[in-house]
Chain A
Amino acid sequence: MKRQIPLLIVIILGFIFAIHTFVPHKVSADFFDWYQTWIKAISPFMVLLGIMSLTMVHSTKIKRKVPNWQYSVVTLLSLVGTGAVGFIWGTQEGTPFMWLFKNVQMPMGATMFSLLAFYIASAAYKAFRARSAEATVLLVAAMIVMLGQVPIGIKISKWIPEISSWILNVPNLAAKRGIALGVGLGMTATSLKILLGIERTYLGGGD
């Protein structure tokens, strides 16, 4: 029963939503409205689950004094602190919550993403070698696209942005479209397998 009931829910609701997409009947529209009300009511509980999971994972780490457990203290304090200032003073401009966002969250997020520039430069110097014909093509294409993305590219030659655009629009698109079609077909096949109850691994438990 533990596996059959969830399986039945998935199969029945899966077919209902598939039919809803193609049948614009009033019954179908009313069902969708009813579903929307439910999903709005249910979604806050996902946040609650997330908070519970985060608290349990990090409090266990603190209790067991696992390596770097101090970071877990910072995580939990940040969770409680940010939540508290948001609840007490609100989240509008000029509140402590917004101050925390602008002065802690924003610089930290930007720092994480900006690290990419350092890694890319280092990897370009250390690993990007014309070892084979394929690697040379990749290397030349990368240099043209990089120049085509900045104003100096057109200053060097009016052809650089043109070639850069051709690389992005022709070989890049051919590969991307092939991948997209493959992923699309794969998703359709997997969805059908789930709807028909053939694919059950999402239920867990092995088979």
Chain B
Amino acid sequence: MAEKKISFYERMQALDRRYIYLVVALAIIIPLLIPFNSKTYVTEPSENIYKKIDSFAGRKDRAVLLSFTHDASTMAELFPMEVSILRHCFERNILVFTICFLPQAKPLMDYALQTAKEGYEVQSGIDYVNFGYKPWAIFVPLLLKMGDDIAEAVETDDEGRIVNNLEIMKEIKNYNEMNLIVDFSGSAAGLRWITYARAKFGANVALGVTAVMAADNYIYLQSGQLTGMLGGLKGAAEYEKLVDVFATHKELDENGILKPAPREFSKEIIKESWIKMSDIKNRQHKTARIGMNAQTVAHIMIIVFIVLGNIGYFVSKRKTEKVS
């Protein structure tokens, strides 16, 4: 008996998924190894976080709290956000506090601080303070208590020092001064800050979330309960660019030497600015933008897969209809 001839489209429909996995792996690995230049377009939710943090520059009576609520699985998307926000704070002399309520987040928080600190002469207790790990069970009570007195709520920092005695706390009392909280998570954990710190004390809250969680939080952006949001690797890439274009901007002085010259945020400048990957020496400062290369190729590839799959589906369907 003659074997039934399988058409190209039918063969494509029954393609072994291991070939798909191989294509995905190559589409992600190659752009990571050989980064190419692609323009990052900055969106308003990212701009708003940048502008809010930048408005605290040089002030001793304003601070930002970074809350790390994730583990290593979501690190690829969230870590570049954390490092770029910390870099922004260190570059512009903005007081920054860090805290986490998950034991898995503690080493990530330390690693982010360690990475961002490179190249800056910042001192713990003066320019920043790491509140360390606090048990999840006291998340809400501590969050509420910080509305009255941060030092009293937190008590000791990661190094065991009494927070109230630290120089950084001289002009910082509660959410009136620590007026922006940025929570990094791959879950709905950040909503607690909106429910309690925002609603009860009027604190500004922003989120850094994974791309899959971003869609859930647009409602809070639209209602104004969130100051801004960094969504996935795209949000991280946008913030990296904002820090490069404005906070770490350098200009030539009269002697032709490049000197730091941070500038105010401007929509015109960010629209026109183009940064070549090769101009950024430290890979940690462009991780998200390199990752966006891989994400671009992966998204295109998924779209190609969807189109191919549908072409195969419709051709096979038409053939079946003709036969019957």
A residues whose Cβ falls under 8 Å from a Cβ of B: 32, 35-36, 39-40, 42-44, 46-47, 91-93, 97-98, 101-102, 105-106, 108-110, 112-114, 117-118, 120-122, 124-126, 128-130, 139, 142-143, 146-147, 149-152, 154, 161, 165, 168-169, 172-173, 176-177, 180
Q: How far is the CB of B228 from chain A (nearest CB, A)?
A: 15
CB-defined contacts of B114 to chain A, threshold 8 Å: 93
Distance, CA A169 to CA B43, complexed state (A): 13
Q: Which 4 A-B pairs have the closest CB atoms?
A: A109-B72, A109-B73, A43-B137, A43-B135
Binding site for A on B (CB under 8 A): 15, 17, 20-21, 23-25, 28, 38-41, 43, 71-76, 104, 106-107, 110-111, 114, 135-138, 141-142, 144-145, 211, 215-216, 218-219, 222, 232, 234, 292, 295-296, 298-303, 305-306, 308-310, 313-314
CB distance from B207 to the nearest CB of A (A): 15
Cβ–Cβ contact A124 & B73, under 8 A: no
> How far does the Cβ of A141 sit from chain B's closest Cβ, in whole Å?
12
Q: How far is the CA of A147 from the CA of B303 in the complex (A)?
A: 9
The reply to whether B38 and A149 contact each other, CB–CB distance below 8 Å, is no
> What are 18 A-B contacts defined by CB distance under 8 Å?
A32-B145, A43-B136, A47-B135, A91-B107, A101-B72, A105-B104, A110-B73, A110-B75, A121-B305, A139-B306, A146-B299, A149-B211, A149-B295, A149-B299, A152-B38, A165-B43, A168-B215, A169-B222
Query: Does A150 contact B309, Cβ atoms closer than 8 Å?
Result: no
CA distance A31 to B193 in the complex (A): 22
A36→B306 contact, CB < 8 A: no
- Tell me which of A36, A102, A161 contacts B111 (CB under 8 A): A102
Contacts of B306 in A (CB 8 A): 124-125, 128, 139, 142-143
Contact status of A32 and B313, CB under 8 A, knowing A43-B135, A121-B301: no
